[in-house]
Amino acid sequence: MTTETVTSEISQVERHGYLFGHPISHSMSPLLHKTVYDNLGLNWAQYPMDSIDMNLFLQRIQHPQFYGASVTMPHKVAIIKHLDELTEEGAAVGAVNTIFIEEDSTGKRLFKGTNTDVIGVRDAFCYSVAPEKYYNRPALVIGGGGAARSAVYALRTWMKASAIYLVNRDPEEVRAVINECTARGYGDSLVHVSSVSQAEQLEGVGAIVACIPNFTPKSDAEKEARKILETFLQKSHKGAILEMCYHPTPWTEITELSEKAGWQVVLGTEALIYQGLEQDRYWTGKEVHQLPVEKVQQAIAAKLSEPKL
């Protein structure tokens, strides 16, 4: 979007926000928020800003009608130093995906950051899965990136995981997750599961969060990680798995394996929806139950069912 285009478009709405990241062409964030605003009768809009230009973004958010932004890769960590304050979730995860504004006692606008990805993980389970399937049981996180850290935080903070097993093709990434989560105060009982024989000896899990792209394992490390997952899927207790990957399709190799093994599958679009609704809670001041949850679910499902070009 050029500066002229932005100026022209924002003049037609009452309030505006941005989706800031690169690349973002596949993102359903603007659709999600448009659905919320249309159903609430708000003349608001979220505009995609596919850019790595932090300075330009920081200029644009000074506009008096700016209400907040979704922030995605590669800016989730870099944005932090430009914000006035972080919520508990933003500080604990060390990454921000949401900017919102509050005024201080003098009327000055403060730019605050939070992480609603953790709420997306929590609520995807809470609204879809009976808690007895995962409460007070170990959990499993597959992956070693930012989404894995968000999953660990949600499982540890709200979902009563008795231990969290970490599985990933790269042991160094797992060590980094453990060290970072420990330093931030929620690293207790994190266990790196590195072999099938180790997995066989461990208690079955109740919640699994898969945070890796959809691909067929090729390297030995990838194949071992997949076999470890299959070992947990075959244990007697059948819980629920949240497959965070939903692009280009939410039905991945992992969801297929999980369903065949008798597990309840929660699609990543549910986490997308609930993290987005949590963003709108900050921006609109309305609680999630006051937002058009079903309309958003319908809009996202319709978008996913469109033919892929």
Close Cβ partners of 47 (under 8 Å, ≥ 6 residues apart): 1, 6, 9, 10, 16, 17, 18, 19, 30
In a domain, 274, yes or no: no
Q: What are the residue ranges in the chain where pLDDT is below 70?
A: 1-7, 308-309
Which of 266, 283, 301 is the endpoint of a domain? 266
Which helix (DSSP H) or strand (DSSP E) does residue 190 occupy?
strand 190-192
Tell me the C-alpha distance between 100 and 281, whole Å. Answer: 10
- Residue 89: the pLDDT is 95
Both tokens of 219, joined, read 């390297």
CATH number of the domain where residue 77 is located: 3.40.50.10860
Secondary structure class of 149 (helix, strand, coil): helix
| Active-site option among 34, 76, 108, 303 | 76
- Domain containing residue 185: CATH number: 3.40.50.720
Co-location of 146 and 228 in the same domain: yes
**Distance (Å, rounded) from C-alpha 184 to C-alpha 110?**
24
Domain co-membership, 79 together with 130:
no
* 172 shares a domain with 88: no
pLDDT in tens, 145-184: 888 999 999 999 999 999 999 999 999 999 999 999 999 9
N- to C-terminal Cα separation, the chain: 23
Same domain assignment for residues 108 and 175:
no
- Cα separation of 155 and 159, whole Å? 5
Residue 272 lies in a domain: no
The pLDDT of residue 141:
97
Same domain, 145 and 106: no
Which residue range is the domain that position 53 belongs to? 3-115
Closest CA to 94 of 162, 190, 186: 186
On whether both 137 and 257 belong to a single domain, the answer is: yes
For this structure, is 235 an active site residue? no
pLDDT number for residue 249: 76
The count of domains in the chain is 2
Q: Which residues contact 255 (CB under 8 A, 6 or more apart)?
A: 241, 243, 265, 267
Task: Say yes or no: 123 and 257 in one domain.
Answer: yes
- What pLDDT shows up at residue 156? 94
pLDDT for the residue 10: 82
168 with 39, same domain? Answer: no
- 111 contact partners, CB below 8 Å, separation of at least 6: 61, 82, 83, 84, 99, 101
Domain boundary, last residue among 115, 147, 162: 115
Whole-angstrom distance, CA of residue 45 vs CA of residue 33: 7
What pLDDT score was predicted for residue 246? Answer: 81
Give dist(CA 44, CA 94) in Å, integer: 29
Does residue 97 lie within any of the structural domains?
yes
- Classify 143 in phi/psi space as left (phi over 0), alpha (psi -120 to 50) or beta: left
Same domain, 44 and 143: no
- ∠179-183-184 over CA atoms, to 5°? 120
Same domain assignment for residues 28 and 107? yes
State whether 139 and 185 are in the same domain.
Answer: yes
- 305 occurs within a structural domain: no
Q: Is 287 domain-assigned? A: no
Query: Is the full-model pTM beyond 0.75?
Result: yes
